[in-house]
Amino acid sequence: MIGWLKKLNDKAALLAQAHGARSATDITGFSFLGHAWEMAEASRVGLRFFVESVPLYEGVEALAPTWCFSGGSYDNAEFYGKQVRFAPHISQETQMVLFDPQTSGGLLFAVPAHKVDQLEKDAADQNIPLWRIGEVTETGLIEVV
């Protein structure tokens, strides 16, 4: 985890810009889903995330069932939860993980669909970690499936 916390987002930000990122945010105290909602709301779109594609720090899945979440996680879930729809198979523990108030969680950005393949290739060529975790929708909601 320390290695990830020490990584800067500068190279990823430049890569996103080079591929026409339409919106972006860094994942910090409002949680992954909180920042996703703010990004979607400002852009007047919805976002659909594929829960299996969202990267997690090693050990998170083992710790989640202990319900050892910070108060900020509960606050984020209460505040942003009204805007999020979870598929029935997603556990409450996993939902809470996505509301965790990260302090150095990387970037979430959206690029035009026709640029994604080249973005992934360029990220791999430059050794920049990148995950395709979802898609833009017209629902106006955050969906986690």
Return the CATH number at 76.
3.90.650.10
pTM confidence score = 0.90
Greater confidence (78 vs 9) lies with 78
Helix residue ranges, H only, 44-140: 60-63, 71-80, 92-98, 116-125
Helix, strand, or coil here: 111? Answer: coil
> pLDDT band for position 7 (50/70/90)?
low
Residue in 70, 94, 78, 76 with CA at minimum distance from that of residue 36: 76
% of the chain beyond a pLDDT of 70: 93
**What is the chain's mean pLDDT, rounded?**
92
Is 80 exceeded by the pLDDT of residue 6? no
Counting beta carbons within 10 angstroms of the beta carbon of residue 27, is it exposed (0 to 12), middle (13 to 18) or buried (19 or more)? buried
Is 60 exceeded by the pLDDT of residue 126? yes
Please give the tally of structural domains in the chain. Answer: 1
Domain enclosing residue 37, as ranges: 2-144
Q: Give me the pLDDT at residue 2, please.
A: 58
Is 70 exceeded by the pLDDT of residue 34? yes
Is 60 exceeded by the pLDDT of residue 11? yes
Q: Give me the pLDDT at residue 95, please.
A: 97
